[in-house]
Structure 1
């Protein structure tokens, strides 16, 4: 197994921090200064961690599908931050914020589950590892989708 590069180490540490921060957000009350502070920490961790991921090329030597995931996550984080920072805020800003940030966390969890499986199970072939990677990603995504829909904030009437 190869050792981590500096960008790989930064990405790994920040991804782990993102998992913890996202879990705190999921379990804690959704309003107030704690939610804001942890939320901004999550956004910074994800943005820097995704940018670090874009510098990791040790597996294939070039841009690959994993980099696409980092770019998609950057879009999700930005999509989650935009409704909060926009002025004036649209009536549906909470729903948009929740959806985009939830998708970012879901992507992080799918990547973490995939990383865990790929690093712990010995595969006989690259094809076998890609098939398992797809299955794990799909399973985490389906469970995450169900949780996102179940816990989404109630729609608000326009002001």
Structure 2
């Protein structure tokens, strides 16, 4: 197993922090100063974790599908923050923010679950690792989709 590089360590620590911060967001009341403060901490932690992930090449020696996951996460974060930061805000900005940030969190959880499973199981070859990666990612994504749909904010009337 390769040793942890500085980008790998930064990615690991901040991704773990983003998992905790995202769970706090999921479990607490939306709106208000606490939601905003924890939300920005989540966004900054995940942004830095994703950029650090783009500097990690230990597993394949180059750019690979895992890097596309980091790019997808960056896109979800940018798309999720756009409705919050734009002015004037659209009437449906909360719903757009919720869905896009939620998908960034689901992607983070899928990556974390895959990391845990791939490291914990005695996989014999890279084909097994990729198959397990696909299965775990699909499972977490489907569960995440169900939770997103169940907890989506109520649609607001257009202003």
Measured in 1, the distance between the counterparts of 2:7 and 2:125 equals 27
Secondary structure at 2:88 match in 1: coil
Match of residue 49 from structure 1:
49
Measured in 1, the distance between the counterparts of 2:2 and 2:11 equals 15
Q: Does 1:128 align with 2:128?
A: yes
Match of residue 24 from structure 2:
24
Secondary structure at 2:129 match in 1: helix
Q: Does 1:110 align with 2:110?
A: yes
Count of residue pairs the alignment pairs up: 159
| Residues 54-133 of structure 1: pairs in structure 2 closer than 5 A | 54-133=54-133
Match of residue 157 from structure 2:
157
The 4+ residue runs of structure 1 with deviation greater than 3 A are none
1:51-72 deviation digits (Å, cap 9, x = unpaired): 0000001111110000000000
User: How many Å apart are 1:126 and its aligned residue?
Assistant: 1.1
Where in structure 2 are there 5+ consecutive unaligned residues? none
TM-score of the superposition, structure 1-length normalised?
0.99
User: How many Å apart are 1:8 and its aligned residue?
Assistant: 0.2
1:35-84 deviation digits (Å, cap 9, x = unpaired): 00000001101111100000001111110000000000000001111100
